[in-house]
Structure 1
């Protein structure tokens, strides 16, 4: 089927936030007495917090105890401290505008909470462009990435078949999540993962600007 829709990841795809998310986790863990190396967290960014936390500290959950405190504090740090300092990925606004002009139906699929998403889209300088676009957030999924729930929720909202959409993402967890929902992914290196880690994507580009420059040769043109 002809391409009709785009499922948009946000962190690392539209905004350079992956390092900030990792540091917010490190800071939040430290405030609760856990010494966690940045690199250990950074490799897991792209997972939802409910999946990431027990991989860092086995037994912790964001539902209770220290894990709940850490999860809340990480969110506060992104919204109030790191979020306002973030920059858009190169070409993010221009790519979004081009896809809209091409008549593609866009939907945002992020594991972020709605409060975080507002901050992130503003930092990406696409909040006005996407103000009328439907979103899925952590509230729409029983399990976060790399589970397929968030992509499946986006498909339900956008009312398109998997073969009619492509997801834009930047982490191996986006690819795994989309694969579980039978959706192909165009991956971007600007999230900090290399081509080996992004194996399984339909195509890989440096950033939104690179994808836009090669738009006519990309899966978006098919």
Structure 2
């Protein structure tokens, strides 16, 4: 089965940002009187605010307070955490290798559009990614399949021609719902047992790059 395209997650997959996102949520919630433990928020990273807020403080993202917390989280993340973020080793090189081999690359992220652009710039991937889908393009974040469905359509490819690369069970579940198979990375902090739905698991971009020729990408 010839693979023609790859849909990638960004947070925790290409950029080491999951802990930073969790910390920003915790701090933003605290400013509005909600004391939520980091340990409760961290496993939710990979979802968008439409899932994180109801799961932690029982607010919808469209409520007045929910909107305020979301905006504050975004500001905290950009001001306090983004400057210290780094791409995972091998992230850009993996993307370059995939493009070199003729694969079409797209990203499907629960991030806001401006954050997504910052991440792609951090990786050095602006000219390597052909399609981008962010939170503004869909109503529901992962593990709902909306972002995957939109991204798959934008690639112009069929599900059997595409692989997803992500770091959470939410990536795998969202991809499965549109019949796309997933390669998972451990670098986002999830255990192998939680990534059991993936067809292959690697430590991160550098590990997949080192084993590219025997990976599902080359089959």
Pairs within 5 Å for 1:167-178? 167-178=164-175
Secondary structure of 1:43's aligned partner: helix
Q: TM-score, normalised by structure 1?
A: 0.95
User: 1:68: Cα distance to partner?
Assistant: 1.1
Structure 2 regions of 5+ residues with no counterpart?
A: none
When normalised by structure 2's length, the TM-score is 0.97
Match of 2:49 in 1: 49
Distance 1:213 1:159 in 2: 29
Note the C-alpha offset of 1:79.
Answer: 2.6
Alignment of 1:184-195 (within 5 A): 184-195=181-192
* Contact 1:84-1:123 at 8 Å conserved across structures: no
2:125 aligned with 1:134, yes or no? Answer: no
Match of 1:94?
A: 93
- Structure 1 residue 129: Cα displacement: 3.5
Structure-to-structure mapping, 1:56-71, within 5 angstroms = 56-58=56-58, 60-71=59-70
Does structure 2 retain, via aligned residues, the 8 Å contact 1:15–1:124?
A: yes
| SS in structure 2 of the partner of residue 145 of structure 1 | coil
Quote the Cα distance in structure 1 between the aligned partners of 2:26 and 2:139. Answer: 25
Deviation at 1:128?
Answer: 4.4
Mark the CA change 1:128 to 1:105 in structure 2 (over 3 Å): closer, same or farther: closer
Query: After TM superposition, which residue ranges in structure 1, 4 or more long, deviate above 3 angstroms?
Result: 127-130
Contact 2:105–2:128 (Cα < 8 Å) also in 1:
no
Segments of 5+ residues of structure 1 without an aligned counterpart are none
Aligned residues: 219
CA deviation profile, 1:177-200 (whole Å, cap 9, x unmatched): 111111100000000001011110
Contact 1:84 1:119 in 2 (8 A): no
| Partner Cα distance (1:20, 1:119) in 2 | 14
CA RMSD of aligned residues (A): 1.1
User: Partner residue of 1:200?
Assistant: 197
Q: Show the counterpart of 2:217.
A: 220
- d(CA) in 2 for partners of 1:120, 1:18: 12
State the shift of 1:2 in Å: 1.0
Distance in 2 (alpha carbons) for counterparts of 1:208 and 1:176: 21
**Whole-angstrom distance in 1 between the partners of 2:195 and 2:100:** 28
